Amino acid sequence: MDTIKFFKVLVMVFAILSLIAACSGAEEPNIASQERENNPAGDVPSEMDKVQELNLVDYSEIPTMDSAVAGDVAAFNMLINVNEGLYRLNQENTAEPAIAEGEPEVSDDGLVYTFKLRNANWSDGTPVTAHDFVFAWQRAIDPGTGSPYGPYMMAGTIKNAEAIAAGEMDKEELGIEAQDEKTLVVTLERPVPYFLSLMAFPTFFPQQEEFVTEKGDDYASNSENILYNGPFIFSDWDGTGLKWSLEKNPEYWDEKTVKLDKINFDVVKESATEIKLYSSGEKDRALLTGELAKQHADDPDLIKGKDPAVSYIKFNQERNGERTVLANENIRKAIAKAFNKQELVDGIMADGSLPANYIVPADFTFGENKEDFRAVNGDMLEYDTKEAKKLWEQGLDEEGINELTLELLGDDIGVVMDMNEYLKDQLEKNLPGLTVEIKNVPFNVRLELDEAQDYELQGAAWGPDYQDPMTFLDLFVTDSPQNRMSYSNERLDALIEAAKGELALDAAARWDSMAQAEKILIEEDAAIAPIHQFGIMALQKPYVKGIVRHPFGGQFGYKWAYISGKE
- Strand 53-58 versus strand 262-267 pairing type: parallel
Query: Cα 392 vs. chain centroid, distance in angstroms?
Result: 34
Pairing mode of beta strands 322-323, 318-319: antiparallel
According to DSSP, the residues that pair with 95 across neighbouring strands are 89
For every residue of 152-178, DSSP letters joined together read: HHHTTTBTTHHHHHTTSS-GGGSSEEE
**pLDDT at residue 539 greater than cutoff 90:** yes
The confidence band for 408, taking pLDDT boundaries of 50, 70 and 90, is: very high
Q: Please state, in angstroms and rounded to a whole number, the distance separating the CA atoms of residues 384 and 392.
A: 12
pLDDT at 435 over 60: yes
Strand partners, 234: 246
What is the DSSP code string of 478-539?
Answer: TT-TT-TT----HHHHHHHHHHHTTTTT-HHHHHHHHHHHHHIIIIIT--EEEEEEEEEEEE
176-180 and 183-187 beta bridge pairing: antiparallel
pLDDT at residue number 34:
32
71-128: per-residue pLDDT in tens? Answer: 888 899 999 999 999 999 999 999 999 999 999 999 999 999 999 999 999 999 999 9
CA 23, CA 27: separation in Å to the nearest integer? 10
Cα 420 to the center of its chain, rounded Å = 23
**CA-only gyration radius of the chain, Å:** 24
Torsion of CA 108, 110, 114, 117, to 10 degrees: 130
Crossing angle of helices 385-399/414-430, nearest 10°? 80
- d(C-alpha 474, C-alpha 200), whole Å: 20
DSSP string for 22-47: -S-SSSTTHHHHHHHHHSTT-PPPS-
| % residues pLDDT > 90 (the chain) | 77
Q: Taking the C-alpha atoms of 383, 385, 389 and 394 in order, what is their torsion angle to the nearest 10 degrees?
A: -30
pLDDT at 33 over 50: no
DSSP-derived letter for residue 204 is G
List of residues 6+ apart from 115 with CB closer than 8 A: 86, 100, 101, 104, 130, 183, 184, 185, 186
User: What confidence tens digit (pLDDT) does each residue in 306-358 have?
Assistant: 889 999 999 999 999 999 999 999 999 999 999 999 999 999 988 889 999 99
Q: For the segment 471-484, what is each residue's pLDDT rounded down to a tens digit?
A: 999 999 998 888 99
